[in-house]
């Protein structure tokens, strides 16, 4: 997984099965929402 900043956007590249990549362009608000969602799920699993 990698994230780069291009202008005002964050580009998230996630490897997928078969050798491809899922590429998402996120703004800061979307990235923050994604972080909160992931933290909520991983915190629930860790407990």
List, for residues 6-47, the tens digit of each pLDDT value: 999 999 999 999 999 999 999 999 999 999 999 989 887 766
Confidence (pLDDT) at 38: 92
Task: For residue 19, count other CB atoms closer than 10 A to its CB.
Answer: 6
- Three state DSSP letters for the chain: CEEEEECCEEEEEEECCCCCEEEEEECHHHHHHHHHHHHHHHHHHHC
pTM, rounded to two decimals: 0.77
Q: Where are the chain's structural domains?
A: 2-46
């Amino acid at each position: 997984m990698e994230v780069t900043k291009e202008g005002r956007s964050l580009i998230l590249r996630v490897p997928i099965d078969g050798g491809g990549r899922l590429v998402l362009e996120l703004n800061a608000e979307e990235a923050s929402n994604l972080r909160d969602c992931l933290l909520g799920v991983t915190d629930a699993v860790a407990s």
